[in-house]
Structure 1
Amino acid sequence: MNQPKSSQLLWQRWTHYLTYAMHGLILFIFFSATWWWRPRWAYAKWVPDFFRERLSYPSNTQEYLSVYYIRFTLVYLVAILACLWVLTMFKGLRELVLDGRIWWAAGLVMLSFYIRLSVGWADQKGIANSQAIQWMLVTIFALIVTCNGPQPRWVATALVGGTIFHAAIAITQSALQHEVNLAWLDQHWLKIGLDLVEYRRSPDASGVPVVQADGVRFLRAYGLTSHPNPLAGGLAVGIIAGLWMWLKPEMRRTAAWVTTISLW
């Protein structure tokens, strides 16, 4: 008689721990979503030859562009998240099907399949295939967050935290007028091939995004992105995510600091 109850209790604990792991990973993805994070793992021996061979081609070829997405850490994080969701037996999916969210989810999945099918009539199939797979990963991530994600306030907090972190790097880059050299952390301390990309740029170099006035070139901050514009977009999302803090009198000072740092 106690065996079914014991098994049920064990399953509840299992799904409870997996849910905690999923929530932590989801929040970290939101925190680091704007990072141009391309680790050396993509060239490791355990990566299938299909991908490694194509990554060896020049970066402007169809072969390289067709698998370019696997160079980004977010791809691996979403894949791990999907595996955790499978281990929970798709927790939250039943509730999604039974309530009104199913129509939103169905529309997103259908759009994803249409984008995948559009590769067949694309002129540059390598690029189209890469973009389609990226969209499918976004769809999977959105479904997982909808079914078994953390509370919206925690997501907003992760976005705000990522904004503050990224803004601090950008402010430092502006003050130094060159990179912060975050690669030092991995090269001399972590040594795990983290490879947080921080481009080496000088305001005197040609083609570098700068603000110029009276012959003076001032380097625009780019954070951990490839260009200042994606950085600005990420900071704007963080500011929007932090708007809820203005609604609470005890958090308005924090909201003011977040807005000031992000706009700086």
Structure 2
Amino acid sequence: MADLDEPIHVVAPDPAWGDQGRMLVQDISAALRGLSVDVAHIGSTAVPGLEAKPVIDVQIGCPAGEIEVAVARIERLGFECLGEAGVPGRQYLRRRSGLPANAHVVERKGRLWVDNLLFRDYLITHPDVMSRYAAAKREAARRAPTLLAYSDLKAQIVAEIMRAARGAAASGEAGAVRRRDARRPGEMLGAPERCSAPRTTAGTPSHSGRPATSPSATPGVDGHTDEHRHEGLARLMAHAQQAHRRRHRGAVLAPPATGRSVPAGPPF
């Protein structure tokens, strides 16, 4: 297995990342057609205006019984699988040829899936937090030009933002998932792409490649109102937390034997 650690660099935001993310979501969705999975663009490249490593991150939400098949199909797109890579419940794949990308296969609607969406949307809707996080990323990259050390240096601020995002969702903060008014429709990726039963979303290309239209007079990024989308994420978060507590009640997770892992949390 290849070494998880690798050189990294953080660059200025690239407007092309949004389109690249949408194309990768479509490619992976096509490869996984027939499986009951969701695919979404996550990570810093999914946050317009945020500095990032020039690597597109997508997550694939998958039932436990289909994870092995999903991983095998994604590998055919040029990805290599590095297993959990220190994050229980995730299969981590990466591709460094062509369009550099990471794929994270997680439990559909589980805690990791929900957290990644909450983190992404919280940064998008809180420019002050995004600016503070960008500064932390730049400083971490300056001090540590490799992935594991870089991740360690920004682990604290990631945890702080994650707590704030969960709190905003739990308290019903409308801004937790609200689209910035200044963005044109479709600039921010909205709802995940479904593979088993494709559906169109506002501003997001359908499987046919044609842009979808909004079914709502005041839609959020996925064609639902901000309140509906927020309520859905909050319900998913509560469900994931309950499932997580049931699975791990009384259990202690041992650290990876190698000690080489990317800290748990969103791949930002």
TM-score (norm 1): 0.28
Structure in which a larger fraction of residues adopt helix: 1
| Structure (1 or 2) with the larger CA radius of gyration | 1
